[in-house]
Structures are given as C-alpha cells and as structure tokens.
Amino acid sequence: MLLFLSYLAASGILIAYVAIDAEDATVGNAAISTFGGVFLLNFIPGLALTSRRLHDIGLPGWLVIAAIFAVLFLSIIGWIGYMIVMSLPPKNGENQYGPPVYDEDIADVFS
C-alpha cells in the first residue's frame, strides 16, 4: 500500500511539474525519466524480495518471471474476452431491463 501511495504521490508531483511548463518538452522527458528510474529502483528489489519469499516457502525463484508473464498474458486475454463479449449480438425480445432499442431510430434512443 505504501508503494502504491508513493507512486501516486510521485505521479501527482510530476504531473504538476510538467503542467507548469507544458510547452517545454525537456521537462516532460525529465519527468518520465525520473519516474522510470523510481520504477526500476523499486522493481528490481521487489523481484529479489519476491524470489526470496518464494524460496522461503520452497518454490523456485523463477516463478517470479512466470508470474509477471502470466499477468501480462492474462491481461491481453482479458481484453480479447471483453471485445468478444461486447461484440455478441443482442438477445431477441424483451428482457429484465426492458424492450430492445436497436430497432428504433438511433436519434430517439439518445434523446
């Protein structure tokens, strides 16, 4: 939780700093470089600590890398699943939320 709050505070400070001089690209580049450096300073020790914790419970430390790839891969699968579900055709007839509106004039739907 403290790490999240520190990222949130750093992001707020960097956004405020960039907003002060939005026309100068070097300020934005410096802000992104600083945030990237802070991320790396926290990410690499986080990998080491997670690996040690996995060793404490008798699992190999390489599972950290597997977990990172799983999170990235599952997020892509989640977005693909979301797109598939949102692309499904509607049910015919009335449901618990009311009658279908896709047959009506689109202007009447949003007015």
Given a cut of 70, whether residue 109 has pLDDT beyond it is no
How far apart, in whole angstroms, are the C-alpha atoms of residue 32 and residue 37?
A: 9
> What is the rounded average pLDDT of the residues 74-94?
80
pLDDT for 54: 83
Query: If you ran DSSP here, which 8-state letter would residue 99 be given?
Result: S
Among 73, 76, 74, 52, smallest CA distance to 64 is for 52
Paired strand residues for 98: 95
pLDDT score at 68: 82
For the stretch 29-78, pLDDT in tens is 777 777 788 888 888 888 888 888 888 888 888 888 888 888 788 888 88
Supply the mean pLDDT for the chain.
77
- Listed by start position, the domains of the chain span 2-89
Residue 11 and residue 15: Cα distance in Å, rounded?
A: 6
